[in-house]
Chains A and B, each alone.
Chain A
Amino acid sequence: MVIQLSPASRPTYQHTGQGHDRRLRPRRGARLRANLWRAEVTVAAVALLIVTMALTVWPGTAPARPMPAGLRLEQSGLAIADPFQSATPNRELMDHYVFNGSAAPGVGWVTATTHGLDVGVGPHASWAGWFAVTLRAAGPDVVWHALMSRPSTPVGTGVGEAVLAVQSASTQRNGSINYVVVSALSSRGKSTWQIGSAHGFVADAVTDRLWQGPLRADTPSTEPVTIRTDGHRSLSVWFGDRLVYSSHDLHMNDPAPFQAYLEVQGRGISYVSNFKDFWVADAAPVIVTGAAPGSRITLRTGHIEVHGTADSTGQAALHVPAPELVGTGTLTLHDRAGVRTFRHLHYAGGDVVQITAP
């Protein structure tokens, strides 16, 4: 192999004699012009890097959260947040979600409107499903939440199912499609809510039903569902503030991290699932720093009130219940100087919020 160790050395055609006499007469400014060109190339190379960096900035998976005056968000614990309160083109959703499923092309569909994210299947025979899966994975120490709904009228013939699943993201590495699932099942004029754990390799997972609500015609069609799992032994599920299932003695073998599947399944019928207020946040307290030692700090939302006391370093931990880990509230600081209030604080579990105002 020929390795050119010193390209600035003797020219290739030295034997030809071409140009030898000319080589002795350096042209005025030639060296300067060559160096200017080299500088140009260097600057252009740096510009290439800057342009590439700028063009490849991916949109965030959670909206920006403006902090009230006097507070600064030091660290965010909010992994994903999509309120699904506005009509969003699918091409924008697909920066964060992949749409797929067992339904034939054209049968499965997804639409984001002001009423939420609809995931549906059109007319088809037998079972067919469609889902929006998050590109970002999170966990194990996170909480998954969505306000999920099935159509208010129970299904007469066929079967319809609205599904929120938290599935291992390591399928490409190990083939595991293990997941935990909360679903609203509707058939023969009645509906029920179910919680399960599924196991499978690459395809065709088998679900173990862990909990099932009553099968009735008037089962609520909408539930605010919150899931926390470590993927192995622990699973807790809340409907609203109500803990409906919790176990720390399971054998799920569902390796972290996880992705959320916002999903619909239908057998022989068109069906649609609806999702709103979808978020994923760290299963951790909201940390407030910069307070005077001993200060009392309170976070109030419309539903809860959480208290904490600043330690000697001025840091306080606010242990917000899992279903309320993401929300908007008022932070109140009680210290020797008096009471200070910070309204409209958009908080999330795992946030580190610093008090900046003196």
Chain B
Amino acid sequence: MLPLGEEPIEEQLHAHCRTYILGLIGGVLMPDRTNNKVHLMYLTFLTNLRITTRYSWGSACLAVLYRELCRSTYVKVKTMGGCASLLQSWAWYHMPYMLAPEVAKKI
């Protein structure tokens, strides 16, 4: 990641944001079997940050999660990619009785 100075110019700040978003995509939103790598095809959608928000990131995330859930149903598969945080928060939202006691206390 590009080290950011105290007062970065706009271009540096945007480059920092692009790197951070790419990290979020590969680490939280759509991790896959490669584990610690992210495909650079997502960078083509981040070139202009003003139009990035128009793209349908939600459906892409759901498609990846569906595919990873299908893949992980096989007996030999031990790891699952996709947005597991979303799966967990979905389960908590729809089935609140499954909440762990320590989490339920915080909510």
* Pairing of A with B: no
